[in-house]
Amino acid sequence: MIDIASIVAGIISLGAALITQLIYDYSLRKKRAARREVPPGERIQQSISKLGSASQEIDAIIRDIVQDIKSRQTILEELKVRHQTLSQEEAELSKRVEMLKELPLEVAKYFQQISEQALQQVEKKKARRDILMFILGILVTTVIAILLSVFGVR
């Protein structure tokens, strides 16, 4: 037995398909009519103007791409130079590390003591120099004051 609902559904789907086909045929006829109304020379002119504007847009896009490529090339070159300098620095530092690995620990402590002693000696010399400069400043100021009082300059 066939159900009424299935019959109604079949009729609705046939109607929808028929309406879709009619709309498609109508729009197709309308497009063909619009093409026939425009003379061929004018259609060619429209096509040429559309091609010209499309060509200008493509040229602008290509210019942007070329500019982007150039900027990326300069960045890449800078990165290559930076990589090369960092590689050289790394090689030098690894050589130093290898040299330090070969040194016994006592030698490193000895060099540290030597550098500390040298710094202490330099600090003592600076302190002596500062005290000497202070005392000389006091003496020179005193001598100048005595000379000025003796000669009566006020």
Quick check: is 128 in a domain? yes
Three-class DSSP labels, 48-63: HHHHHHHHHHHHHHHH
The Cα 56–Cα 115 span in angstroms is 73
Asked whether residue 9 is assigned to any structural domain, the reply reads no
Is residue 119 a part of any domain in this protein?
yes
pLDDT of residue 116: 82
Does 3 map to a domain? no
Q: What is the pLDDT along the chain (154 residues), one digit of tens a residue?
A: 567 777 787 788 878 888 888 888 888 877 776 666 667 677 788 888 888 888 899 999 999 999 999 999 999 999 999 999 999 999 999 988 887 777 666 766 777 777 888 888 888 889 899 999 999 999 999 998 888 888 876 5
In a domain, 139, yes or no: yes
**142 domain residue, yes or no:** yes
* Start-to-end Cα distance in the chain: 140
Domain range enclosing 153: 104-154
Please tell me the total count of domains within the chain: 1
In a domain, 12, yes or no: no
Residue 28 has a pLDDT of: 80
Fill in the amino acid letter for 75: I
Per-residue burial over 26-54, b if 16 or more Cβ lie within 10 Å, else e, is: eeeeeeeeeeeeeeeeeeeeeeeeeeeee
Q: What is the pLDDT of residue 85?
A: 95
Q: Is residue 127 part of a domain?
A: yes
pLDDT of residue 103: 67
